Chains A and B, each alone.
Chain A
Amino acid sequence: MDFNDTPEEAAFRSDCRAWLEANAKPKSDHSSAGDGMGAHLDTDAVEASKAWQKKKADAGWACLRWPKEYGGRGATSIQNVIWGQEQAKFDTPADVFGITHGMCGPTVMTHGTDEQKEKWIPGMLTGENVWCQLFSEPAAGSDLAGLRSTAVRDGDDWIINGQKIWTTGAQWADWGILVVRSDPNAPKHKGLTYFVVDMHAAGIEVRPIHQINGGREFNEVFFSDVRIPDANRLDEIGNGWMVSLTTLMNERASIGAGGGASAISELIDLAKRIEIDGKPAIEQSAVQERLADFLVKARGLRYTGLRTLTALSQGKTPGPEASLGKLVGAVLGQDMAAFGMELQGMCGGVNDPGLGIDGSTWQSRYLGFPGLRIAGGTDEVLRNIISERVLGLPPEIRVDKNVPFKDIPSGN
């Protein structure tokens, strides 16, 4: 058991740092861990993110784990983490490529043909193209396979109709991964097909949705007779569910341990500065006990991540256990935000960046974290996954399996 870098890892780390020092500014002490939903984005922020990605790609520091033939570095998982640790010490532009690199890239690499990979992977890596994930629909979120948007074959093309919703970053995306129903007569999981869609194609309309945290990062996306060439289909017709699972596994792993854990040191720092009954809050036993609960979870998540990493480096594949990181991390982030507000007494409800303590980060986290508990699989869905796929408990009793999709009852 060894936490320290091996000599090779240490050398790699100093390479990372050298490049970052030459190309980015170190973070100030006051930069915050974010509100769980990432920074609010606008066109300028997107451009800045693309420029930073391009800079990294030109120097060979983009998508480190991806194969060299596509411009990656063929790096190990551990090297990738080392890079992430070092990059986190620098003040880099907000990232619009989370979905592109965390979900779309791995899915195309797993299920795409060589031509498809050559066509799409390099643009993801160089930051030229932003991607989005067109999965959820008004009637299909947790029950993703209940989706209703349709694909109908027309010669070498498919014609897409329907509506997607909650599509993060659709307004900035050039490409999207799309799962739609190609056979309404098949049972629900069997009638799906997976495509890559050009977001600039005719018939696509994107409408931003206003979120509770004030942002407008997610969207409704309407498809009216949108044509997708069959060459943009990933994997077999009817195999869309399997391809979606690849995306979802990667999604949970990439949201994973991040969660709220990194805010713990800011929370401890806040408790040092706030006074309760004439004493620093951090000296009050009730405060200490709450902080300890958070710290134990935050560190536990970090070390769980390291155990996963070790397993990866031993050649094991990460399984559904990755759901643990997102489940525990998102709840933790929200709980810590609430406690950060609680510590502020009557000012807990002040969300004014000018007046509030720490620029109202705790308040904005409180408004951001509910999103993380829903996005990428709700807490409840993750508990189902853990209980069924990790613990082997019986699956949910289903009334929708092995019935033609069109005969399944639906509500609002």
Chain B
Amino acid sequence: MNFDFSDDQKLLKETASNFLKEHAPLALCRAVLESDDSYSAELWKKAAQLGWQATAIPEEYGGYGFGQLELAVIAEEVGYALAPIPFASSVCFATDAIVLAGSDEQKKRLLPKLASGDSIATFALTESPGQNGGEKSKTKLDGDSITGTKLPVLDGDVADVVVVLADCGAGPTLALVELDASGVERTKLECIDPSRSVARLDFTNTPAEALGKPGEGGRLAETLLDRAAVLMAFEQVGAATRALEITKQYTMERYAFGRPIASFQSLKHRMADRYCDIEIARSNSYYGAWALENNDRELAVSACLARVAASEAFDQMGVDMIQLHGGVGFTWEFDCHLFYRRSKLLSSALGSTASWKRKLIRRVSGQEAA
């Protein structure tokens, strides 16, 4: 038994951390948030020079052929830096979808551009508020054309390719749509976290092709969500860790009643509880990563564990971060809201926490094939 990352993976993590320290201070996140940009194209390019987007793509398609554990350590650092790049959508979900389910031709056509960072991919599962990704799609894939509306689509306004859940008559099917095709309308939506972006995509007889077997898109989408959930959990744990560090620092330096506010027990205990949440989430995420890497039967359950623990840990840390900062925590100029916003974007991006809780219990109790 060895429940830890390897030395090489730790080195990769350190490199990622140093890189982001230099190229992605929180000011970068803020700059995107305050501009009309949907992400930092410059950081995305630099990350590509380090090969992040290529990490888990097989060598024959222009990647490095590493595994999911390597992506997990990068995701944690992306989270820690609140890096404003479409890492989760493009690398953790859509690229994975193509690697997992694409035909050789599709892989040859799409993966090299994704590996080099020249192209961004994303996923589009839901169609209306209240949905969590497993619902029946109204969007129709008819042979090689698709019609329907998808919303919200993370990074949908800047992506080049999108993996769409549609109905093909034979049941749910995943489709690949290149967004420069005809019949695509993109509408950028206001995002709770403007350092990232969401959009609505309308397809009208848009050219599309099936990804994987028609009729099996539901199962495939579930698997992809599970896989992405584990990696996103690392991102959430990274971000929550940073938020706790900043909060600690601030409360040690801020004085009231003649002493650092961090010496008040209710604040100490609140931070101790957040530490526990984060460690519980980290441990569940490790387990998820192990299941992911080993393609284990446990993935279905471990993904839910990691997702629920990490979403709740980061959400609560975001809330407490503002509270423990007092008035300045509510100001635009302080960084608290960057974390507060990001936490909610991430905890909704793959479906609500409650939906993952229900899925978890259905899976462990055998009510739902895992």
A residues contacting B by CB (< 8 A) are 1-6, 9, 78, 268, 271-272, 282-283, 285, 287-289, 291-293, 295-297, 299-304, 306-307, 309-311, 313-314, 321, 324, 327-328, 380, 382-384, 386-388, 390-397
20 contacts between A and B (CB under 8 A): A1-B289, A2-B3, A3-B290, A272-B365, A288-B360, A295-B360, A296-B305, A296-B360, A299-B305, A300-B280, A303-B287, A306-B3, A306-B283, A307-B286, A310-B1, A324-B276, A324-B279, A382-B272, A393-B248, A394-B259
Which residues does B use to contact A, with CB under 8 Å? 1-6, 69, 244, 248, 251-252, 259-260, 262-263, 265, 267-269, 271-273, 275-276, 279-284, 286-287, 289-290, 293, 304-305, 308-309, 312, 354, 356-358, 360-362, 364-365, 367
A292 touches B259 (CB 8 A): no
How long is the Cα–Cα vector from A1 to B10 in the complex, in angstroms?
Answer: 12
**7 further interface pairs, Cβ-Cβ under 8 Å (given A300-B279, A301-B280):** A288-B357, A292-B357, A296-B280, A296-B284, A324-B279, A383-B268, A394-B262
Indicate which residue in B262, B268, B304 contacts A292 across the interface (CB closer than 8 Å): B304
> What is the distance, in angstroms, from A412's C-beta to the closest C-beta of chain B?
22
Q: For A310, list chain B residues within 8 Å (CB).
A: 1-4
**A392 and B248 form a contact (CB under 8 A):** yes
Question: Chain B interface secondary structure, helix, strand, loop or mixed?
Answer: helix
Contacts of B280 in A (CB 8 A): 296-297, 300-301, 304, 328
Q: A299-B287, A392-B248, A397-B263 are in contact. Are A1 and B276 (CB under 8 A)?
A: no
In the bound assembly, the distance between CA atoms of A287 and B365 in angstroms comes to 12
Residue among A293, A299, A392 with the highest chain B CB neighbour number at 10 A: A299
Contacts of B244 in A (CB 8 A): 391
B355 to chain A, nearest CB (A): 10
Complex CA gap A5/B2 in Å reads: 9
Contacting residue for A386 out of B6, B263, B272, B309, CB 8 A: B272
CA distance A3 to B4 in the complex (A): 10
Q: Which residue of A lies closest to B304 (CB)?
A: A292
A328 touching B361 in the complex, CB below 8 Å, given contacts A384-B268, A391-B248: no
A391 near B275 with CB under 8 A, answer: yes
Residues A303 and B283 in contact in the complex (CB < 8 Å), given A1-B6, A292-B304, A309-B1: yes
Q: Is the CB of B3 within 8 A of A268?
A: no
In angstroms, how far is the closest chain A Cβ from the Cβ of B189?
A: 28
- Specify the chain A residue showing the minimal Cβ separation from B312: A296
Q: Which residues of A contact B69 (CB under 8 A)?
A: 1
Identify which of B2, B268, B305, B354 contacts A295 (C-beta below 8 A).
B305
Number of A-B contacts (CB under 8 A): 157
- Taking a contact as CB atoms under 8 Å apart, the answer to whether B275 and A390 are in contact is yes
Q: Are B1 and A396 in contact (CB under 8 A)?
A: no
Most A C-beta atoms less than 10 A away, residue of B5, B304, B364? B364
Let me know if A387 and B279 touch, CB within 8 A.
no
Q: Is B361 a contact partner of A295 (Cβ separation < 8 A)?
A: yes
Which of the residues B248, B251, B269, B304 comes within 8 Å of A383, measured between beta carbons? Answer: B269
- CB-nearest residue of chain A to B302: A299
Q: Which residues of A contact B367 (CB under 8 A)?
A: 282-283
Residues B268 and A304 in contact, CB atoms below 8 Å apart: no
Asked if B358 contacts A5 (CB within 8 A), the reply is: no
The answer to whether A309 and B3 have CB atoms under 8 Å apart is: yes
Chain A contacts of B268 at CB under 8 A? 383-384, 387-388, 391, 393
Q: Give CA–CA (A293, B262) in the complex, Å.
A: 29
CA A391 to CA B244, docked complex, whole Å: 9
Q: How many whole Å from B351's CB to the nearest CB in chain A?
A: 13
In the complex, which residues of chain B have a beta carbon less than 8 angstroms from the beta carbon of A300? 279-281, 283-284, 305, 309
Query: Residue of A at shortest CB range from B356?
Result: A292
Who on chain B is nearest to A301 by CB?
B280
- CA distance in complex: A307, B305 (Å): 16
| Measured CA separation A169–B207 after assembly (Å) | 76
CA–CA, A394 and B286, complex, Å: 31
Question: Are B284 and A5 in contact (CB-based, < 8 A)?
Answer: no
* B271 CB, nearest partner CB in chain A, Å: 6
Residue of B2, B244, B276 with most partner-chain A CB within 10 A: B276
Minimum CB–CB distance from A27 to chain B (whole Å) comes to 21
Say whether B293 contacts A387, CB under 8 Å.
no
Q: Which residues of A contact B265 (CB under 8 A)?
A: 384, 396
Which residue of chain A is the closest to B251 with respect to CB atoms?
Answer: A393
Complexed CA–CA distance, A389 and B279 (Å): 15
Give complex CA distance A9, B2 in Å.
11
| A1 and B290 within 8 A (CB) | yes
Q: Is the CB of A5 within 8 A of B269?
A: no
For B263, give its contact among A5, A302, A321, A396 (CB under 8 Å). A396
**Residues of A contacting B358 with CB < 8 Å?**
285, 288-289, 292
The 7 closest A-B pairs by CB, nearest first: A300-B280, A292-B357, A303-B283, A387-B268, A394-B263, A288-B361, A386-B272
> Which chain B residues lie closer than 8 Å to A2 at the CB level?
1-3, 290
